[in-house]
Structure 1
Amino acid sequence: MERSHILRVARPTDHLEQLVAMYCQGLGYQVLASFADHQGFDGAILGLKSHSVHLEFTHCHGHHVGRAPTQDNLLVFYVPDEAEWQSRCAAMEAAGFTPVASFNPYWDVQGKTFEDVDGYRVVIQREVWKDN
Structure 2
Amino acid sequence: MAIEQQAHVRIARPSKDLTAVERFWVDGLGLSVIYRKSEDGHHLLMVGWPEAGWHLELVQIDGDPVQPQPTEEDLLVVYLEGPVPDELVERLVAAGGQVVPSRNPYWDTWGVTIADPDSYRLVLCTRGWSNH
Residue 34 of structure 1 is matched in structure 2 by 36
Q: Partners in 2 of 1:130 and 1:32 — Cα distance?
A: 25
Tell me whether 1:108 sits opposite 2:108 in the alignment: yes
Of stretches 86-95 and 26-35 in structure 1, the one that deviates more from structure 2 is 86-95
Question: Given the two structures, how large is their TM-score scaled by the length of structure 1?
Answer: 0.87
Residue 59 of structure 2 is matched in structure 1 by 58
1:90: Cα distance to partner? 2.9
1:65: Cα distance to partner? 3.0
Identity %: 32
SS at match of 1:91: helix
Question: Given the two structures, how large is their TM-score scaled by the length of structure 2?
Answer: 0.87
1:18: Cα distance to partner? 1.0
Misfit runs of 4+, over 6 Å = none
Gap regions ≥5 residues in structure 1 = none
Gap regions ≥5 residues in structure 2 = none
1:17: Cα distance to partner? 1.2
The 5 Å alignment of 1:80-99 reads 80-82=81-83, 85-86=84-85, 87-99=87-99
1:29: Cα distance to partner? 0.5
Residue 75 of structure 1 is matched in structure 2 by 76
* Superposition RMSD in Å: 1.8
1:93: Cα distance to partner? 1.8
Number of corresponding residues? 129
